[in-house]
């Protein structure tokens, strides 16, 4: 029997832990965790993401601040806002929604967020801590952190002896995911567009993670029987079966056929996706505990 992971349920349990940690921190220290979300421009998808992040932050009991800036915001004005949030003692986490509208440069903005408030885990200090195996001191990028929750719930903390293959090497997902699996003692291969014989590389994986952005690229004969398959891809494709002009979301994994081979698999939607916001909340409460001089909850 294949287990299909219910990402919404796992995310809900992470959120319950965050809520309880938020109450404990406030009652014991008077510190209320604060998350500031910054959005520039009017991209509807980005606005939808930001409003769910702000809403979830409120539900967790955080001080939730949203800064909505117009399309024509200058690099200097955005940098000034980040500097103000860096200096604000009530704010423990800062998230600047990406991508930024042109011609704004995202990299200088990402790197200007204080590492201890970088709840997206994108600052080079946090990426460096992860790369050097310092999992306690930094903040980890939310989507790979969420995917690791699934891995831990399936295999436990120690992945000794297991082969993991991550397809994709982005700074946002592929690289931090590989680093997390390595830190948990898996033997890790990071594959990408220049990898030779990708199906054979994938067939070696006990844990196969796909973060490519190509609809249903991973086929059943790429999957080792009994493997865990984690699908990070989010691709909108035409769905004529639902009516003219209709679309649907699919992952990077051909779900129906791969589910017959894998022992554990994540669906799209409803797998990794819901974990991203949950881990953003988890990172914010971790940042708030550290600022209060407390050990963050596990």
Which residues are known binding-site members for NADP(+)?
Answer: 168-170, 234
76 counts as catalytic: no
80 is catalytic: no
53 a catalytic residue? yes
Distance, CA of 235 to CA of 228 (rounded, Å)? 21
Q: How far apart, in whole angstroms, are the C-alpha atoms of residue 168 and residue 163?
A: 16
C-beta closer to ligand NDP: residue 116 or 231: 231
What is the distance of C-alpha 265 from the center of its chain? 17
Nearest to 144 by CA among 75, 207, 82: 207
Q: Which residues are annotated as a binding site?
A: 168-170, 234
Task: Closer to ligand NDP by CB, 61 or 146: give it.
Answer: 146
CB 228 within 8 A of CB 207: yes
- CA-nearest of 175, 38, 213, 168 to 110 is 38
Tokens of 21: 């940690």
Distance of closest approach, residue 240 Cβ to ligand NDP, in angstroms: 22
By CB under 6 A, residue 196 contacts ligand NDP: no
List the catalytic residue out of 117, 118, 120, 129. Answer: 120
Q: Is 52 in the site for ligand NDP (CB under 6 A)?
A: no
Q: Pick out residues in 171-190 that bind ligand NDP (CB under 6 A).
A: 172-174
Contacts of 269 (CB under 8 A, 6+ apart): 234, 249
Considering the rule CB under 6 A, would residue 163 count as an interface residue with ligand NDP? no
Compute the Cα dihedral for 56, 251, 170, 176 and give only its sign: positive
Q: How far is the CB of 49 from ligand NDP (least distance, A)?
A: 9
Residue 272 as a binder of ligand NDP (CB under 6 A): the answer is yes
Which residues are marked as active site?
53, 97, 120
Residues that bind ligand NDP (CB under 6 A): 143, 167-170, 172-174, 191-195, 198, 211-214, 232-235, 272-273, 276
């Amino acid at each position: 029997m294949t287990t299909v992971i219910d990402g919404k349920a796992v995310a809900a349990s992470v959120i319950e832990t965050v809520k309880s940690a938020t109450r404990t921190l406030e009652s014991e220290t008077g510190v209320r965790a604060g998350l500031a979300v910054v959005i520039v421009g009017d991209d509807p998808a980005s606005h939808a993401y930001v409003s769910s992040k702000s809403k979830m932050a409120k539900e967790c009991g955080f001080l939730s601040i949203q800064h909505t800036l117009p399309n024509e915001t200058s690099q200097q004005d955005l940098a000034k806002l980040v500097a103000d949030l860096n200096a604000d003692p009530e704010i423990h986490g800062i998230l600047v929604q990406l991508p930024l509208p042109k011609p704004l440069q995202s990299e200088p903005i990402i790197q200007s967020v204080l590492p201890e408030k970088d709840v997206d885990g994108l600052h080079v200090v946090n990426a460096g801590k992860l790369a050097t195996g310092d999992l306690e001191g930094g903040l980890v990028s939310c989507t790979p952190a969420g995917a690791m929750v699934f891995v831990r719930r399936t295999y436990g903390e120690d992945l000794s002896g297991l082969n993991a293959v991550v397809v994709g090497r982005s700074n946002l997902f592929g690289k931090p995911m590989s680093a997390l699996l390595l830190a948990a003692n898996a033997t890790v291969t990071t594959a990408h567009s220049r990898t030779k014989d990708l199906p054979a590389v994938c067939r070696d994986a006990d844990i196969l993670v796909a973060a490519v952005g190509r609809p249903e690229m991973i086929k059943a004969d790429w999957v080792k029987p009994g493997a865990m398959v984690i699908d990070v891809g989010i691709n909108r494709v035409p769905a004529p079966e639902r009516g003219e002009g209709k679309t649907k979301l699919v992952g990077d994994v051909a779900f129906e056929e791969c589910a017959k081979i894998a022992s554990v698999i994540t669906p799209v939607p409803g797998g990794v996706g819901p974990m991203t916001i949950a881990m953003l909340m988890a990172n914010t409460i971790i940042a708030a505990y550290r600022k209060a001089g407390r050990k963050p909850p596990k």
